[in-house]
Structure 1
Amino acid sequence: MTFPRSIPTRPKHSTPPPPSGPLFEVQRQLSTSPYAPLRSVRCEDKSGFVVLHGRVPSYYLKQLAQEVVRKTGGVRGVVNHLEVAQPPRRRNGSSAA
């Protein structure tokens, strides 16, 4: 007696479903922000809370990133671990490394 081969439930070359959900929406909004420093902010989901990581050059941008998250549907809250760090300044015409 022979048994038929198992039939895959999904074709081998199928395209995965597009990413979705609140974290994806937050990442999309930050990565397309007109403010360049917000495009490099990293975020993760911790049980519905979005945790922000990275550095921004001003408290305004830190708050702006937080508001992007807060206004996104499906987010329970924001944990803002962004650091405010000014880029090194040049002295007497020399460049900072």
Structure 2
Amino acid sequence: KGIRINSIIPGPIDNTEGMKRLAPNDAIRAAVKKSVPLQRMGSTDDIANACLFLASDFASYITGAVIPVDGGWAQGGAALVGAGLAEMLKSTPK
């Protein structure tokens, strides 16, 4: 009772180990950025700010939420993700 549990789903976050592995070159990084509606990768500060909000009194009535912090990337649906993936694959050296 009284416990709040929420989760954050990060999108493409710049300067993280995940993006270094998933977008190892400039062409793939550009394709990822282009596939995000906000036209940029997120930052670790974007994730930290979402965590701080959820831990604050401003979010005292929020529980069970799944919050994407992805610049709208997932909201584009399969077409947006698919287009970005296709472009990334074209850019990947063989």
Same fold (TM over 0.5): no
Q: Which has the higher contact order (CA 8 A, sep 6+)?
A: 2
Q: Which has the larger radius of gyration?
A: 1
Normalised TM-score (structure 1): 0.31
- What TM-score do you get using the length of structure 2 for normalisation? 0.32
| More strand by percentage | 1
